[in-house]
Structures are given as structure tokens and as C-alpha cells.
């Protein structure tokens, strides 16, 4: 009887398991009533088969929902694995730390050739080792096609912990997409799932509105008082207005924008997790704790998040200006003013697009946020027609909904203004300040969810078109800067890693 030692990781919890295994017996791994039971929602009830044959460990996926990967490569059919390999079932990672078949150690010997086709289970069609081949010295025979070395070396790579990032591959990401459509029902469902974040945004905006009203009263009231107190010279009044209305207002605006941006980034992190997996870490982590930790882990420092955002927004706006999308929608001559309005809407829509690319960055989990942001921009450009249409629609709906909310808020604001009849303009200002929190907590999140959903559904399993890399480099200096930042972040090219790696030969 053989002994199999595994390291099973579910979320942040890791557990070592030692299991007996018999030659020639098929074992099932899955979520319920299996030889190895994994209580995790993305693992299927019967996820994969595992069998020890001729001293080698063979696995095959049983048609699971989220598939099975070996060392980040999705398997199809029977695959041979050994010590050091990592098997991924949905969100669960299983690393083989020891395989002792009761014969010479799998760490020091080569396993026998894979069994013939006739010996395979009925569900397998062919045997194919799908693991990445190790580097061989010039002239060295490639042994992977005929036999599998259990001490196969893995090249060191900065992105070894980036679970869904596939830099250098045709499809640059492998994160799941739990939500498969961007319809209104799905948008509202996602909004309700992340409602606590929306309520926090409302609270911040509401308090900011109240403080802004009080600050405005102090600012202009002080100006009026000083103007009357010093009738001979208006300098003190204008100095007061300059300090409070200029520098003070600018500082207050920065504080509010910073607080809102950090809450928005956390909200996007939670939304991305729900879109990808249906829940936040299967309900094991609090929503606010997850959002804060995810953003901190991904971007290390807040200033990097702001800087990437400014790069992406500038690139998207430069790209949107070059498209003939608007003229194709409105091919009517003599509508220059209308075209200017529509182009302005397209310009504003870039703010939604850069937040969508932030969502892609978080979903992919690349150790290099500049690189994944660059790929996100390229994916947007590949699919700009559908995504930009959705973004423009979102901006229009945003304007309409905000106007309706403002009209509704006029009623209590006008009632309040009756108490102070001298200020006829007050109802409009009060209504505006009341409408802002509702817009920021309800309207904008709904529009953002609609665009983020469209983006993730659209690019799911989509190959990247690197022709856009050259086009965008010619179009925008910011895109060149994004590329340079990605290179400077410290990603190690594979060729350099190969040169630095000292190949170790199998022990005999």
C-alpha cells in the first residue's frame, strides 16, 4: 500500500493530509461522499478521479463545472502528476508533497512509462502529459514525452502566487465568471449583495453634504460680516474668502474624494469577487475586511492605485476620441452641437471604464498591477464597441436618474426654504446637495456594475490581440508609460530565469 501526502489549501486555510492509496484502485475527489472530501462551493460533487498505476499517479477530471488544472494548465483527459505538482479544483489547491508507492522513492527515480491505452479507464481517450516541459540543455533529449521525472524543476517566476494571472499566454487570465449575463436582474442582485458598501458611500456623501453646507455658510457669512465690519477696505473680506473658499475648500474636496475613492475601490474589489465566485470567500471573510485587504495587497501603496487610475483614464479617453463610433451612431449632417454633447458623454464614460479595468486588475490578481492594467486596456480596445455602448448608456441613465432625484429632493428643500424666504436660490442648492449622496450610493454603483459585468462576460476565455499594443503605443504617450512601468516593476523575463537557473539532474 502506498502513502500519499497532500497539502490542501482552501482560501486562507491550509491542512496537511496523509492518505493510504492502493495500486490500481480509482479514488474520487469531490465535495460530497468522496475518498477526499473538499467542502468548497467551486469544487464539484465528483470533481476528479485519482489512481496509482505502475508507481505513477494519474488524475482525470470528471466533467466538473470549474475544471481541473495542474500547475496552472487546464487538463483534458488523463494526466500524470508527481511530487511537487499542484492540482487546482475550482478555488481549492492541492499540492503533492510526497508520493511513496512502496517501491524506490518517487523523488529519486524515474517513474515507468505511462500505461498503454488499453489499460486506461473507460472515460479516458488518450494519455497526455500536459504539464509544462522542463528546460533541457542544448543537445539534451526531451524525456517528458516518454517518461515523467518526479523531481521536475519549475522556473522561478515572480507571479507564482498570482492565481489567475497568465502573463505571456494568449489568454492572459483564468479567473472564473460566476455571473454569465449583464442584464438588469443580475445588476440589481449584485447591488443588493454589496449593499453595505453602498450605504457607507451614502453616509460619507451625506455627511460631506451637511459639512459643505455648514462650511459654505461660514465662508460666505464671514465674507459678508467682514465686508460690513470694514467698509473702508474690502481686503479682509476678500482675504477671508480666498483662504476659506479657495485653499480650505480645495483641501476639504481632496479629503472627501480620497475617502470616497478608497471606499469605491473596496466596493469594486467585493463586486469583482462576487462576479467571479458568487460570494466573498464563501462567506468566511467580512465584506469590508476583504475589500480593504484586497486593494492593499494588490497595489501595496495607495499612490500606485491613484497613479494607475490616471494612466488608464488618459489612455481610454485618447482612444475614445479616435473611434468613429459616434459618427456611426448619428450619421446625420448638421448636428455639430448634438455631436459635441454626445462626445462629452463619451469623454465622461472613461471614468466608468477605468474603474472596470481596476476590477479586471483585482480579478486577475497579477503581482504586477501595471502589466495587468495594460492588458486590461488592450482587452477594452478589442471589445470597445459593446463596452463603450454600455458605458455611454450608463452615463445617460446616470444623468436622467440624477435629474429625477434632484426634482424629488426639491420638495423637502423648498419646504425648508420657506422658513428662510430671503434666499430664493436655497431650494435648488439644498436639493442638489441631497441628490448627490443618492446618486453616489445608488445610481452610480448600479451603472458601474452594468459595465463591469459586460466587460468580464465579454472577455471571458478571450485571447489577447497584441496588435493593439503597437496601435496604442503610437496613439498615447501614457500607454508607453504604462508599458515602461510594467517592465520596471520587476517582472523577470522567462529567458533570464532560464539562464540563471542551475539545472539539476535526476538522482540515480
pLDDT for 236-281, tens place per residue?
888 888 888 777 778 887 888 888 888 888 899 999 988 988 888 6
Other Cβ atoms closer than 10 A to 168: 12
Residues 151 and 191 reside in one and the same domain: no
What is the number of alpha carbons within 13 Å of residue 319 lying toward its C-beta?
A: 28
Q: Residues 6 or more apart from 173 whose CB is under 8 A from it?
A: 164, 165, 166, 360, 363, 364, 375, 459
Residues 305 and 360 reside in one and the same domain: yes
Whether 479 is covered by a domain: the verdict is: yes
Whether 274 is covered by a domain: the verdict is: yes
Q: Is the pLDDT of residue 15 over 90?
A: no
Residues 375 and 444 reside in one and the same domain: yes
Whether 318 is covered by a domain: the verdict is: yes
Which residues form the domain of 86? 2-155
Residues 375 and 441 reside in one and the same domain: yes
Residues 227 and 294 reside in one and the same domain: yes
Whether 500 is covered by a domain: the verdict is: no
Domain count, the chain: 2
* Mean pLDDT value across residues 321-325: 63
Whether 266 is covered by a domain: the verdict is: yes
pLDDT tier for residue 411 given thresholds of 50, 70 and 90: confident
pLDDT tier for residue 481 given thresholds of 50, 70 and 90: very high
Contact 143, 112 (CB under 8 A): no
Residues 201 and 150 reside in one and the same domain: no
Whether 508 is covered by a domain: the verdict is: no
CA distance 323 to 478: 18
Q: Residues 6 or more apart from 446 whose CB is under 8 A from it?
A: 187, 188, 191
- Of 313, 275, 279, the C-alpha closest to 453 is 275
Q: Which H/E stretch holds residue 26?
A: strand 26-30
Residues 146 and 273 reside in one and the same domain: no
pLDDT tier for residue 491 given thresholds of 50, 70 and 90: very low
CATH number at residue 27: 2.60.200.20
Residues 260 and 385 reside in one and the same domain: yes
Residues 93 and 212 reside in one and the same domain: no
CA distance 357 to 447: 15
Transcribe 270-301 into DSSP letters: HHHHHHHHSSSGGGTS-HHHHHHHHHHHHHSS
Residues 69 and 190 reside in one and the same domain: no
pLDDT digits (tens, 9 = 90+) for 101-116: 664 434 333 334 444 3
* Mean pLDDT value across residues 300-326: 78
- Of 146, 148, 137, 151, the C-alpha closest to 503 is 137
Residues 324 and 445 reside in one and the same domain: yes
- Of 411, 409, 412, 416, the C-alpha closest to 435 is 409
Residues 113 and 224 reside in one and the same domain: no
pLDDT digits (tens, 9 = 90+) for 339-368: 666 677 777 777 788 889 999 999 998 888
CA distance 175 to 358: 15
pTM for the model stands at: 0.60
Q: Is the pLDDT of residue 43 over 80?
A: yes
Amino acid at each position: 500500500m502506498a502513502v500519499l501526502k497532500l497539502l490542501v489549501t482552501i482560501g486562507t486555510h491550509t491542512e496537511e493530509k496523509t492518505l493510504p492509496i492502493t495500486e490500481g484502485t480509482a479514488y474520487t475527489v469531490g465535495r460530497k461522499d468522496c475518498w477526499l472530501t473538499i467542502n468548497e462551493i467551486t469544487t464539484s460533487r465528483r470533481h476528479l478521479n485519482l489512481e496509482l498505476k505502475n508507481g505513477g499517479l494519474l488524475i482525470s477530471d470528471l466533467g466538473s463545472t470549474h475544471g481541473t488544472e495542474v500547475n496552472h494548465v487546464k487538463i483534458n483527459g488523463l494526466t500524470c502528476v508527481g511530487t511537487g505538482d499542484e492540482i487546482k479544483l475550482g478555488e481549492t489547491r492541492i499540492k503533492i508533497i510526497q508520493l511513496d508507492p512502496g517501491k524506490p522513492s518517487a523523488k529519486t527515480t524515474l517513474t515507468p512509462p505511462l500505461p498503454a491505452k488499453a489499460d486506461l479507464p473507460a472515460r479516458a481517450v488518450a494519455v497526455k502529459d500536459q504539464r509544462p516541459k522542463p528546460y533541457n540543455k542544448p543537445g539534451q533529449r526531451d524525456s517528458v514525452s516518454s517518461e515523467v521525472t518526479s523531481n521536475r524543476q519549475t522556473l522561478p517566476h515572480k507571479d507564482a502566487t498570482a492565481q489567475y494571472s497568465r502573463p505571456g499566454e494568449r489568454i492572459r487570465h483564468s479567473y472564473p465568471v460566476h455571473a454569465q449575463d449583464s442584464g438588469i436582474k443580475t445588476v440589481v442582485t449584485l447591488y443588493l449583495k454589496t449593499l453595505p458598501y453602498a450605504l457607507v458611500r451614502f453616509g460619507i456623501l451625506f455627511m460631506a453634504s451637511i459639512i459643505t453646507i455648514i462650511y459654505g455658510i461660514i465662508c460666505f457669512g464671514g465674507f459678508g460680516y467682514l465686508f460690513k465690519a470694514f467698509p473702508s477696505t474690502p481686503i479682509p473680506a476678500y482675504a477671508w474668502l480666498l483662504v476659506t473658499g479657495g485653499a480650505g475648500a480645495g483641501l476639504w474636496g481632496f479629503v472627501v474624494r480620497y475617502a470616497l475613492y478608497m471606499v469605491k475601490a473596496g466596493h469594486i474589489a467585493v463586486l469583482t469577487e462576487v462576479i467571479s465566485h458568487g460570494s466573498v470567500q464563501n462567506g468566511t471573510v467580512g465584506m469590508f475586511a476583504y475589500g480593504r485587504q484586497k486593494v492593499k495587497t494588490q497595489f501595496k501603496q495607495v499612490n500606485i492605485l491613484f497613479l494607475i487610475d490616471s494612466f488608464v483614464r488618459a489612455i481610454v479617453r485618447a482612444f475614445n476620441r479616435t473611434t468613429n463610433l459616434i459618427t456611426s451612431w448619428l450619421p446625420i449632417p448638421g448636428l455639430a452641437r448634438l455631436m459635441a454633447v454626445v462626445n462629452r458623454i463619451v469623454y465622461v464614460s472613461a471614468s466608468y471604464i477605468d474603474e472596470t479595468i481596476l476590477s479586471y486588475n483585482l480579478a486577475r490578481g497579477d503581482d504586477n498591477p501595471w502589466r495587468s492594467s495594460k492588458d486590461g486596456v488592450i482587452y477594452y480596445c478589442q471589445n470597445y464597441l459593446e463596452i463603450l455602448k454600455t458605458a455611454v448608456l450608463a452615463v445617460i441613465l446616470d444623468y436622467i436618474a440624477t435629474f429625477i432625484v434632484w426634482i424629488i429632493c426639491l420638495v423637502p428643500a423648498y419646504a425648508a426654504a420657506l422658513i428662510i424666504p430671503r434666499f430664493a436660490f436655497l431650494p435648488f442648492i439644498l436639493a442638489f446637495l441631497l441628490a448627490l449622496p443618492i446618486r453616489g450610493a445608488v445610481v452610480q454603483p448600479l451603472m458601474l456594475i452594468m459595465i463591469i459585468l459586460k466587460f468580464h462576460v465579454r472577455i471571458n476565455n478571450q485571447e489577447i490581440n497584441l496588435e493593439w499594443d503597437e496601435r496604442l503605443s503610437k496613439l498615447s504617450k501614457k500607454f508607453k508609460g504604462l508599458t515602461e512601468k510594467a517592465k520596471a516593476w520587476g517582472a523577470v523575463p522567462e529567458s533570464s530565469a532560464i539562464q540563471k537557473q542551475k539545472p539539476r539532474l535526476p538522482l540515480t
